[in-house]
């Protein structure tokens, strides 16, 4: 019987700070991370509340909200 093993999600950025150890685990360079964010209009890690890879390896992120937007 063959069972596909599902991966755990991996956090890459929390509150604007890159988790470099998790980049190594995910086998993603910081340049690749920056390029993906740039393509989505994110100019700085400081704009990111949370970013990671889901259990399927798909990248996702959430930008911080400006205080004046509330």
What is the count of structural domains for the chain? 1
In whole angstroms, give the CA distance from residue 20 to residue 27. Answer: 10
For CA atoms 27, 31, 35, 41, the dihedral sign is: positive
Question: pLDDT per residue over 22-46, tens digit each?
Answer: 999 999 999 999 999 999 999 999 9
How far apart are the C-alpha atoms of 41 and 20, rounded to whole Å?
Answer: 22
pTM attached to this predicted model: 0.83
pLDDT of residue 55: 93
Which CATH number characterizes residue 21's domain?
A: 3.30.240.20
Half-sphere exposure of 69 (CA within 13 A, CB side): 4
List the domain range (segments joined by +) for residue 24.
10-57
- Per-residue pLDDT band for 66 (boundaries 50, 70, 90) equals confident
């Amino acid at each position: 019987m063959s069972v596909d093993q599902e991966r755990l999600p991996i956090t890459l950025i929390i509150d604007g700070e890159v988790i470099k150890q998790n980049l190594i685990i995910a086998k993603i360079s910081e340049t690749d991370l920056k390029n993906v964010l740039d393509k989505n209009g994110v100019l700085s890690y400081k704009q990111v509340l949370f970013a990671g890879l889901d259990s399927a390896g798909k990248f996702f992120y959430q930008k911080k909200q400006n205080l004046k937007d509330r």
